[in-house]
A and B are shown apart, each in its own frame.
Chain A
């Protein structure tokens, strides 16, 4: 049945050093179909596409194992340029358009139609005259194909985002001999009506015989647009099925799943939700790429409150907005006391502390010693670790050293001593220093944002166990934001799932996988319960 597929990728395995990011993955796409490639962040979707396009990042790290067939023919694509020539196109998530050029110029960029002139006859092809009329005709055709009535001579700058997406698509379609078009999360930046429009256009393109790979993590989109679907999870192929045989709930289950063993095993407990620690109403945070558009929640004393969701949906904006790092509006009360947003000093001096997701950018002074990092907040906010004189105060080196030694022992920070610069520590140990810095403030409430990002498994376990211990033994209330749903489910008491800047659902950690999958896809519980009943 080989001849039926336009693209076959067989047994693709890709390693970065010891780290396996793709393991024996197969992908089959038929001509003229929309094939969805579904998976969470980090499931391996991008790597698979990088393999397909022959990106340098693949070749520079030792290539890959497995075979790629295009139109039944074995191909060995070594550069994106080659992929383009073989008829594979890509519609990027970030638009690759020159804003100062017209639509026509953008569509025909580097593939201009030219006519020879006197100069070019002497000095070569690069100086030939552009045939604007022919180019505009081509552009018109491509624009019509994607259903855009817009004038082809308009400058790109200032067009709505949705239009730019269509121009990108038009550019790919205009390429002669295009057989396969990859859409990388095309709806992520579009409004709902624009997204609907896009899906219509995709169907139209597919009807003309061009195959489409739709990379996405939106389940409803898959059901609506795709003919078949391949689901990846943790670099492994989970399922390869026809859309008509499946449902959003099934897809959600497959996408989220139980990812192997949990990092930590914590005994469940019954939370007595009697005293409110933090109450947030209508929080909006203006953080680029992680915008929060009005969330309400209540966190009880002693609780570990998890916030999950896909990247770029706004979960990281919540702690950053509450801690005053980004512009935010909303009503916040902390143990009954109203907190003004916008100044980091206010939450810090009221007993909140934060371990930032951006360790190197916000969390640490990389050129300073561990001990100076650890006590900095306590010194500046609470005037601790200082020897005071009438007009000024000097740092209390011996007290600082004692605290640093304590923290190094308590959190098992692997270092040459408290004087080592944090910039020379490993990611896990840097994270421990960040936690030590927060703990030195002796907070009542701790925001922890992506605490396990980019650190090894041993450090992950230690960080998570530390959080649990702080909550159970020291009674610190914790809000933990993480992209790793598994982690949240293993230590949090309740988990809020954020999508498109809003909280979709607040779930107990033992809720079914499907509930999490659907929530992450932005499908509200009241609607998905109906969907489930149907299924």
Chain B
């Protein structure tokens, strides 16, 4: 019975999907064909004419208002009389020309059409030149702007203000001067506009030369779009003029939404496949990973439908994956050595933060500062992890609650410590009173984006943070190598089956200690990698939730509380961060100004941990 329904559903979905793709791919090539060009042309002319028409009406209204004012003034009327007369005049003129627009449809516009075409090309040339020149200007003045921003930040910190977490540096464009090339093209475009004006005057005799000049800017703003693909132009023009000029609106719409049809069609086919191979997929992926993967695909589709830039979003996802990956990797030795999810990860995190603070305090610049932070953070983490492991070895069997409480406790303890520690650098301290700041901005003098920017390059809009990815790969490789060593294998046996390991004479407590220390050290490295990419070090309560986020990421990747692989780390971090990165803009499109994305993060991370706990007692084989 159930299978029958499923097959029907699969068939329906696939048929629907195929239909969508077929419609989409039939209509897609029409965009660049005669048909598509004609639609755009028609809309463009229509936009122009309605702009012209509006201009004409506006000028009549202005004249009528002026006359009315003069008339009432002559009669010696009061201010309210003037106001009323002006209002009446405007209404009268509007009524008079209300139906005037339809007239354009009957007029011969072939001349206007060709002139318009010319003007569009000339304008395009100028605008492109302008964009290019502005870009050059921006690039050449970037250093200046950065220095300015830096100075502002320093001033702010000198006054004891929190530095604004500004992500992008904007160049002041007020000094921009048009280049010679631009001027030449501008002149050329103006010439063409004059010809267009003549053609317009032929079909709209009332149009004065002055009106044409005032109209020029408006016409340009309607005509020019930076992106010149079919969809943008169609949306731009039809938003302005409506689509009643077209012979067949539905046909045009099909062409306009052809790409969305294809996207939806592919999504439907994926859904159909997923349902068809449900059992085997669930078996191979596990329920949480499947749900999150589907959700991720859904968000990708959503991003495409809302015309968001997928490459940029995916690029952000990759960066966020890189910055979170080491913290997620820290879960790996914990799971392998049998302490299950190391929710006491904040121990490692605060150790890493301490290392980072020291690097800034001692003013060790650039890569050496980062290396020093890593080394000192790891050393602190190793010592703290050792005592943490001693505690866990005494409390075997209830690691989950112990690690959680230890995580919370250490964060609270360190919240006191941050206020007391004898750091002196002004970058770290509150300028008034004692204690460290809440968020400490990193900059070029220390390790701001030291990994992200190493060998980074762009593929289109997709920025590849090479150094970050390399560092992630290196850490994963080293941990993987360790898991294949004699000690690593013994450690895994302890986590997998303690009595099995004992029966071979493996020192269970020692292996658990090694795993815990390794996990804590990775936590320290992880927070530093995270901070350098984020641009800030967050103290006080910020590290409290990070353990949970890391734990749920590895679980989404397919790990269980007793079993994990490196691939789980990478897949899990990518999916988890992908859902968050894509979720925010898509959710904002759906429900503007909402905090759905944040709610989603909490839901996913806690829900997944809960799910994993329900599974941890029983069959955990994936």
Contacts and interface: CB of A to CB of B under 8 A. Distances in A.
B486 A380 contact: yes
B64 to A, nearest CB: 86
B620 interface: yes
A365 B495 CA distance: 9
Interface stretch (A47-55, A116-124, A389-397): A389-397
A394 B504 contact: no
A323 B493 CA distance: 19
B486 A383 contact: yes
A362 B563 CA distance: 18
A381 B496 contact: no
A356 interface: yes
A384 to B, nearest CB: 10
- Pick from A325, A354, A367, A394 the residue with the most CB of B within 10 Å: A367
A367 B621 contact: yes
Given A365-B493, A366-B496, A368-B492, A392 B486 contact: yes
Contacts of A345: 504-505
Interface string A378-413: 011101001000001111000000000000000000
Given A365-B497, A367-B496, A376-B493, A344 B487 contact: no
A324 B505 CA distance: 9
Interface residues of A, number: 34
Contact of A365 (B486, B487, B500): B500
A23 B189 CA distance: 105
A299 interface: no
A380 B496 contact: no
A380 to B, nearest CB: 5
A377 B504 contact: yes
B293 interface: no
Contacts of B562: 367
A358 B503 CA distance: 11
A368 B499 CA distance: 15
A424 B500 CA distance: 17
- Pick from A324, A368, A424 the residue with the most CB of B within 10 Å: A368
Contacts of A423: 619, 621
Interface string B491-518: 0110011011011111000000000000
A365 B502 CA distance: 12
A325 B497 contact: no
Interface string A357-374: 010011111111000100
B481 interface: yes
A343 interface: yes
Given A368-B492, A424-B621, A343 B505 contact: yes
Contacts of B303: none
B499 A344 contact: no
Contacts of A324: 505
B621 A344 contact: no
Contacts of B484: 394-395
Contacts of A367: 496, 562-563, 620-621
A372 B483 CA distance: 12
Contacts of A377: 504
A500 interface: no
A379 B486 contact: yes
A494 interface: no
Given A323-B503, A344-B502, A364 B497 contact: yes
B486 A381 contact: no
B621 A366 contact: yes
Nearest to B505: A345
Contacts of B489: 372, 376, 379-380, 395
A348 B500 contact: no
Nearest to A354: B503
Interface in B554-593: 562-563
A516 B595 CA distance: 77
B490 to A, nearest CB: 6
B497 to A, nearest CB: 5
Given A367-B562, A392-B487, A395-B489, A361 B504 contact: no
B490 A380 contact: yes
A380 B505 contact: yes
A371 B497 CA distance: 16
A30 interface: no
Nearest to A391: B485
A356 B506 CA distance: 17
Nearest to A386: B486
Contacts of A343: 505
A218 interface: no
Contacts of A424: 621
A407 B552 CA distance: 39
A102 B110 CA distance: 109
B505 A362 contact: no
Contacts of B506: 380
A380 B490 CA distance: 7
A508 B486 CA distance: 45
A361 B496 CA distance: 11
A35 interface: no
Contacts of A366: 496-497, 621
A148 to B, nearest CB: 39
B499 A361 contact: yes
Interface in A313-340: 323-325
Interface string A91-120: 000000000000000000000000000000
A468 B499 CA distance: 29
Nearest to A388: B486
Given A362-B499, A365-B493, A393 B486 contact: yes
Contact of A356 (B481, B503, B505, B620): B503
B502 A325 contact: yes
- Pick from B481, B499, B503, B621 the residue with the most CB of A within 10 Å: B503
Nearest to A372: B489
Contacts of A348: 504-505
Nearest to A360: B497
A257 B504 CA distance: 39
A393 B485 contact: yes
A362 B496 contact: no
B138 to A, nearest CB: 52
A392 B505 contact: no
A363 B500 CA distance: 6
B485 to A, nearest CB: 5
A376 B496 CA distance: 13
Interface string B77-101: 0000000000000000000000000
Nearest to B506: A380
Given A368-B492, A395-B486, A421-B621, A381 B504 contact: yes
B105 to A, nearest CB: 73
A365 B620 CA distance: 12
- Pick from B484, B493, B504, B562 the residue with the most CB of A within 10 Å: B504
Nearest to A375: B489
Nearest to A380: B504
A499 B493 CA distance: 35
A392 B485 contact: yes
Given A376-B504, A380-B505, A368 B496 contact: yes
A395 B489 CA distance: 8
B493 A362 contact: no
Contacts of A381: 504-505
A380 B487 CA distance: 9
B620 A344 contact: no
Given A365-B492, A379-B486, 19 more contacts: A348-B505, A358-B499, A361-B499, A362-B497, A362-B500, A362-B503, A363-B500, A366-B496, A367-B496, A367-B620, A376-B504, A380-B504, A380-B505, A383-B486, A393-B486, A394-B481, A394-B485, A395-B484, A395-B485
11 contacts: A361-B499, A362-B500, A366-B621, A367-B562, A367-B563, A376-B493, A381-B505, A383-B486, A394-B484, A395-B484, A421-B621
Interface of A: 323-325, 343-346, 348, 354, 356, 358, 361-368, 372, 376-377, 379-381, 383, 386, 392-395, 421, 423-424
Which are the 7 A-B pairs with shortest beta-carbon distances?
Answer: A345-B505, A344-B505, A365-B496, A362-B499, A367-B563, A365-B497, A394-B484
